[in-house]
Structure 1
């Protein structure tokens, strides 16, 4: 598997193509964006931010890196890579965006998959801490701080989009996908982390269903369910898992403290890996 940077970036201010120079990216209008020494580009203008530091905090990113680096979600990553490469036979190249890449775990696992395809990889996250962590671990993809609401990529420039435990922006995904491009979503199933939820909520909380109405520009190709028990030993692993989920902010302080006094916990992993195909180009 050969991995190269994704090159077809677009200016977040006027959507013109960005060309790379020695230490910056510029468009024909003169907008310029420095490539940070850590290897990423900040393409989230201040007027597009809703807070000073949007997205995951530095501590949350560190927790995610430790947890995912331990391999606890590797079966999910393998299912995602299999879906992304499902029709790769006979193709020389594929371009792929991880829309909400976090610290880059799933793109790294895709890059490690057994395939002869050259991958042009783009990782995007609204958290600068996440993108910094991703760039430090693998310099081959293009890493950008940006928003799914305004993806800094040229129209019809991507073969694949990964949206993992995130919030899909279907019109924007459609704009940047090529005709026949694949959108691969990962969502929590009803049983996902049930044991964790049972411990921190006074009333039973089920995983949120995400069977929203699919826009007509997409067709559903199929679904793979990934389910397995996950045994976590020690409070540190439990703390990292809790920190990388929305349950951390919803749980009471007392519930969080009680959970972290446990010596271990077996939780259920239950996720859906769903693949959609883009029916036509946005210009048709």
Structure 2
């Protein structure tokens, strides 16, 4: 499994003069842009988001757009001379592309989903792929009567809702700190001096602590006051941590993980790049990954829909 994060953005819609209008008009605007400008493929539509002065292409492949959501794959062209293809039995290599980057190229991609009802855009963070601003390029290039603003949904607000939520409970705490002093390691692991020195040396190490109940459905804190006290304690000592995560819930919010170091609201997903066939790894094709990403992104949004709507007041 490869863990990735889905980030969420509130989408505001405005006229070209900057006047705020109903975000629910986004559905009709995008349908019109796609119907007029996209090129039909076998099971999706492709639209070029490349702006005139950009050398490398940005492409949007759209799989859903006419019903409740706008789901697609955003791709950014990469120079073909940064990769080669190799045949491992002979060790022969083959160049990728014909050298003319204007007509064909290789791309890195990610996936994004706009929920029409809430105006919340979800995107999987992916190094080298387009970010959330790619969706705004569609209006800039194809309909300048409108513009959209993507506002990242803050993680602090989500944590505050747990802090103040009715019946708040924490079920897991994970803390990572710089490697403790030798004396602490000796006490915990019963290491002798030489072992401690050898392990610590010049290595860049850290230590992690996971606090969780023994029972599967147990809890660390039992009510809002205890939850506030534990969160206050973690916050006071946060400067000494490398990482701090909790799993928590309230009466109105399902159990989920909160990263206390993350500035923006996110939700972790596990993407399996392959499946096992006997003892062999069979990697999913790009087409097969579409449904895997779609299911995970939609699930991550639906799981957090109520909380996200509360934060953005929609």
User: TM-score, normalized by length of structure 2?
Assistant: 0.22
